[in-house]
Amino acid sequence: MIRRPPRSTLDRSSAASDVYKRQIVKLPNEVKNGTVGIFVKSLITGKELYSLNPEKALTPASNTKLVTAYTALNELGTNYDVKTLALALQKPISGIISGNLFLKGFGDPYFNVNDIEDIVDDLIKSGVKQINGDIIGDGSFYDNKSKRIQYSGDADVVEDLPPIYALSIEKNYFTVIVSSLSIPGLPCNVQTYPRSSGFSIINDAVSNGYVKPIVQQKESSHRRVSNFAKQSRNNFKKNWKRHSEVLKSKGSIRFGDELIYFRRKPHSYNKAKVSDNLNNKNGISVVITNDSTGKVLIKVSGKLAVGRRVSYRYEAKNPAAIAAGILFDKLILSGIKINGIVKTGNSPSQYKVLAGVERPLNDMLKFVLKNSNNFLAENVFKIVGGYNGGIFETAHSTIDATNKNLIQDKIPMKGTVINDGSGLSRNNRIPAQTLVGILSSSYRDKKIFKTLYPLMAIAGVDGTVRRRMRGTCLLYTSDAADERSSENLVGHRIIK
């Protein structure tokens, strides 16, 4: 925590303000053009120590995350947990759930297959043996504008973030794996990762190739060919083993016995056709749509050379169906009978919580502030909107909550414009006095300050400023520097 300095130290700090004026600004062009804003204030006395264009609204970049975190702590509280729940209209009677079982998400971006297994374990412990209804995925906590540019108002992607949904699964990506058999003409095998009954697969892909004719050779020639082939196989095994060890050390993901090489960017939902490397006549086409029940429909067609395996990674446009399908499969494997199908929909307003998992919001905010994680910042941004009832225009609800908190806490906000939670939007504008006002307001609220202060990066120690400002007296900070020639810094300076 900030240590309260003796009065003599405060006097020295006040007297040193003239030194700040001479040394703190070494940006003559920026000062002349009015593209720099500085505001230094004592949190203890409330006295302004130095200012330069404090009311000038400038592009805040990742300092927007401080506004996002401050709003979240005020709206949700300092002990808020992000939950994913299994719901029903009523508690099970004699081990039977009469009606649908809903899986509802409240914005957990880390929700994964292991969490679903924990939910299934809890249902089993509660004595559930049969479900007379459907398994329904519910992602209605906030809207389906899963891309930042859909609600931020600007057309610049800046950073391609994973899709953002209220009910997520495995960061909302899935992989389609197509493998051919050793006999030409037979259908290919099509699998998905993660496996889920939320997928519907139409497989028209076949194995393609030809069988080499047997050629009679002389014994000496045949022996030479065999020795060469044997040596080639040995060399291949040795090199492949070494190559596999290198890839494994880099954290490659394995499916079965072969390594899968993910593309740097996932495919779009448009038709993706990829030619096989061994035969230009071969090609696999994968088309992703949704069926009438909300399931993800995968249509695979084309030809693949025998003995080959290819994989394609996609963004999940309806992760609620995939998550519900995984829950369906895990329940069946655990011996629970289900008289229904996998669907997506909204859970009832009156429900009973049967099981669930939760994660502390502060764990997310730590990565948002220390590591400037844009994906988590946008998730927190939408969680705030969903909490405030923004199921249709979630971003607007978050912006309204932000403005409300700034006004209530008497923080100067003239010229402030917030369009997203991460600061990737080029249209965001925040004055220096607004950012300092947030730090001052949080300092006055000891409960929020106790939570917010340790979440911020320490200059020269960790986070995005771990290699910056070493040896200075600046300690807890929130830093931003990006490709748009916008560099910002806001934080606390401990006076010793």
> Among 15-24, 123-132, 295-304, whose mean pLDDT is lowest?
15-24
> Which pLDDT belongs to residue 262?
32
Per-residue pLDDT band at 23 (split at 50, 70, 90): low
**Exposure on the CB side of residue 471, measured as CA atoms within 13 A:** 0
Region 236-243: mean pLDDT is 48
Kindly list the strands in the beta sheet with 342-344, ordered across the sheet, starting from the edge strand earlier in the chain. 342-344, 135-138, 101-105, 81-88, 352-360
Per-residue pLDDT band at 156 (split at 50, 70, 90): confident
pLDDT at 431 over 70: yes
Phi first, then psi, for residue 121 (nearest 5°) are -60, -40
Query: In this structure, what token pair is assigned to residue 1?
Result: 């925590």
Query: In this structure, what token pair is assigned to residue 415?
Result: 């010229």
d(C-alpha 34, C-alpha 182), whole Å: 69
Region 413-425: mean pLDDT is 94
Region 284-306: mean pLDDT is 92
Region 459-485: mean pLDDT is 61
Q: What is the pLDDT of residues 351-398, one digit of tens each?
A: 999 999 999 999 999 999 999 999 999 999 999 999 999 888 999 999
> Which pLDDT belongs to residue 292?
85
Per-residue pLDDT band at 291 (split at 50, 70, 90): confident
Q: What is the pLDDT of residues 97-142, one digit of tens each?
A: 999 999 999 999 999 999 999 999 999 999 999 999 999 999 999 9
> Which pLDDT belongs to residue 462?
82
> Which pLDDT belongs to residue 312?
93
pTM of the entire predicted model? 0.80
> Which pLDDT belongs to residue 439?
94
Dihedral sign from CA coordinates of 383, 388, 391, 392: negative
More confident of the two residues 96 and 263: 96
Per-residue pLDDT band at 489 (split at 50, 70, 90): confident
pLDDT at 219 over 70: no
Residues 6+ apart with CB under 8 A from 381: 68, 395, 398, 420, 421, 422
Q: How buried is 449 (Cβ within 10 angstroms: 0-12 exposed, 13-18 middle, 19+ buried)?
A: buried
> Which pLDDT belongs to residue 36?
86
Residues 6+ apart with CB under 8 A from 255: 175, 177, 191, 193, 311
C-beta atoms surrounding 281 within 10 Å:
10
> Which pLDDT belongs to residue 147?
94
> Which pLDDT belongs to residue 269?
37
With H, G, I as helix, E, B as strand and everything else as coil, classify residue 431.
strand
* Integer angstrom CA distances of residue 421 from 89, 142, 356, 449, 477: 35, 15, 27, 20, 18
> Which pLDDT belongs to residue 487?
73
Average pLDDT, the chain: 82
* Integer angstrom CA distances of residue 83 from 88, 357, 361, 485: 16, 6, 10, 38
Alpha helices in 273-372 (DSSP H): 319-333, 361-370
More confident of the two residues 42 and 267: 42
